[in-house]
Amino acid sequence: MSLGKLIGVALGPGDPELITLKGLKALQNADLIFYPASSIKESKITSFSYDILKQLNVETESLPLVIPMTGKNREMHYQKAFDEIHKELKKGKNVAVVSEGDALFYSTFGYILKIAQEANVDCKVIPGIPAFIATGAEGEKPVTEGNQALKVIARPNGFEEIEEALKENQTLVVMKMSVLDNWSDFLEKQNRSFFYIERVGTPQQYSTSNVQDLKLRTIPYFSLIIIYA
């Protein structure tokens, strides 16, 4: 039996209506869907991708791939996830793996894709709207324009890294910004316009461009900030 095809499908930033038509069709036509989950405890699944997926009302069977968002042995978890996928591909099934945002932008699927390509698996990727693009739309302000550059940093090592990036005439997007504290103090010193958002595209979405609003706010994992040039 020939191997099935592996399809990476981007779900978009959080609003189920922001998936592409091509992505939705791929999920409807797949034999099986896998979604990344950070944990499964007492039948409770922690998965942002699944939260989006279940709102699409796709009848295709879906299963979790447990991959912790942080910690050691990441490569081992990705390999284990691919092994589960590969087992289904060997049955001739066309398997979709979903990802919030874009499928190859700071995405779990990007790691799985590399392993699949090394195993000579037939792969296809369907792109989607990344969170920072959706954030620009929510803020109703161009992310960048003219000759301005754009830089994206995820999980910054410290505010020094961000400060160095801001020396250039560029807009800066910081993702997974919860690794740092005292954002309000830093932003006050920079005196640059910004737009902060968390859980973009979901009913829990919160956003602000007022530094005072961040003083007592706990920054969650699914958050990002655009600091404008």
- CATH 3.30.950.10 in the chain: give the residue spans: 131-227
pLDDT score for 115: 97
pLDDT score for 42: 62
Question: HSE on the CB side for 220, CA within 13 Å?
Answer: 11
Q: What are phi and psi of 72, to 5 degrees?
A: -85, 175
pLDDT score for 40: 66
pLDDT score for 44: 73
Q: Helices 74-89 and 108-118 meet at what angle, rounded to 10?
A: 60
Residue type, 180: L
Q: Please name the residue ranges forming H helices in the chain.
A: 21-29, 48-53, 74-89, 108-118, 131-139, 159-165, 183-190
pLDDT score for 45: 75
Strands 223-227 and 194-198: antiparallel
- CATH 3.40.1010.10 in the chain: give the residue spans: 6-126
What is the domain class of 6-126 according to CATH? alpha beta
User: Tens-digit pLDDT profile for the chain (229 aa)?
Assistant: 789 999 999 999 999 999 999 999 999 999 999 999 987 666 677 899 999 999 999 999 999 998 876 667 788 989 999 999 999 999 999 999 999 999 999 999 999 999 999 999 999 999 999 999 999 999 999 999 988 899 999 999 999 999 999 998 899 999 999 999 999 999 999 989 999 999 999 999 999 999 999 998 999 999 999 999 8
Pick the CATH number of 131-227 from 3.30.950.10, 2.40.50.140, 3.30.70.270, 3.90.1200.10: 3.30.950.10
